[in-house]
Structure formats: structure tokens, C-alpha cells
């Protein structure tokens, strides 16, 4: 009986380690992909804004450029989602829309502050969007189906 309990404890420990490793991998890839996208988001928005484009138009153009490749990378690498694109992509777009509404509203409410400090402003907005998006992507857009009982 002792050996069976010991084996069960070892199996539970191994499962916990695998789960912990998977969470670390997921968070690592989310921040790697999201961070790369955020840096590009910031650079493109600064570039577009400095060339005279309205901040809200800058955000819209930047999202059109960045959303498709970021979606594919997050779906395949970060969340390893098996969900069909016809279901996951609309949810991803909904997540992006929800997360970026803040940035669009801020761009319309405080465009002078953004023009005065575009790097800081877009970095702050990108971080706020990233935190919101992670939660929605993990628990809604790319959520795995529950295991069979």
C-alpha cells in the first residue's frame, strides 16, 4: 500500500510540474509575441503620428497591419489552440476590439498629450491592452474544451 501511495504522489508531482511548465511556456510566448507586437504597435503609431496622421487613424492603420500575424502566432504558439479559425478569429477580433477601445477613446480625448509624449502614451496604452487581451484570449477566444470526465 505504501508503494502505491508513493507512486500516486510521484505521479501527482509530475503532473503539477508539467502544468507549471505549460503555464510558464504560455506566458513566455504570450509576452514574446505580444511584446514584439507591442513594440511594433508603438513604433508604427509614433511614426504615423509624427507624419501628421491623427492618433485615432494611426491606431486603426496599425491594427490592420498587426492583427493578422499576431493572431496566428498567439493561436498556434502561445495557446496551441485547436479551435477552428472560423470560431477563434472572430473572438480574437472581439478581444482586440474590446482591448483597444480604451486606446481609441484616449486618442480622441487627449490627442494633444499623445502628440506631446507619443512614446510614453503608446507604451502605456499597449501595456493596458496586453493585460486585458491575455485574459480574454486565454479564457474565451482560445479556451480549450473541458476534458472528458
pLDDT at 145: 64
Provide the H-helix boundaries in 51-117. Answer: 55-73, 85-109, 111-116
Cβ–Cβ < 8 Å for 129, 100: yes
pLDDT at 131: 79
**What cell numbers appear for 92 in the block?**
480574437
pLDDT at 125: 81
CA–CA separation, 76 vs 82, rounded Å? 8
CA–CA separation, 4 vs 23, rounded Å? 29
pLDDT at 3: 65
CA–CA separation, 98 vs 147, rounded Å? 29
Which helix (H) or strand (E) is 25 found in, with range? helix 2-50
Taking the alpha carbons at both ends of the chain, their separation in whole angstroms is: 26
CA–CA separation, 141 vs 83, rounded Å? 9
**What cell numbers appear for 132 in the block?**
486585458
pLDDT at 54: 94
pLDDT at 149: 52
CA–CA separation, 6 vs 93, rounded Å? 47
Reported pTM: 0.67
Q: Where are the domains of the chain?
A: 26-141
Which helix (H) or strand (E) is 23 found in, with range? helix 2-50
pLDDT in tens, the chain (149 residues): 556 676 677 777 777 777 777 888 888 999 899 889 989 999 999 999 999 999 999 988 998 999 999 999 999 999 999 889 999 999 999 988 887 787 788 788 888 988 899 889 888 887 877 778 888 898 999 987 665 55
Closest CA to 81 of 115, 24, 73, 95: 73
CA–CA separation, 13 vs 2, rounded Å? 16
pLDDT at 51: 96
Amino acid at each position: 500500500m505504501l508503494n502505491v501511495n508513493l507512486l500516486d504522489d510521484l505521479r501527482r508531482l509530475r503532473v503539477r510540474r508539467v502544468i507549471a511548465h505549460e503555464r510558464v511556456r504560455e506566458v513566455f510566448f504570450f509576452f514574446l509575441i505580444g511584446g514584439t507586437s507591442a513594440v511594433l504597435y508603438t513604433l508604427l503609431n509614433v511614426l504615423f503620428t509624427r507624419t501628421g496622421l491623427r492618433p485615432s487613424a494611426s491606431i486603426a492603420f496599425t491594427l490592420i497591419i498587426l492583427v493578422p500575424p499576431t493572431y496566428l502566432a498567439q493561436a498556434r504558439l502561445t495557446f496551441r489552440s485547436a479551435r477552428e479559425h472560423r470560431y477563434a478569429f472572430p473572438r480574437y477580433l472581439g478581444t482586440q476590439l474590446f482591448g483597444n477601445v480604451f486606446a481609441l477613446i484616449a486618442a480622441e480625448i487627449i490627442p494633444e498629450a499623445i502628440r506631446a509624449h507619443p512614446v510614453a502614451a503608446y507604451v502605456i496604452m499597449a501595456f493596458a491592452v496586453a493585460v486585458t487581451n491575455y485574459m480574454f484570449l486565454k479564457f474565451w477566444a482560445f479556451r480549450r474544451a473541458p476534458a472528458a470526465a
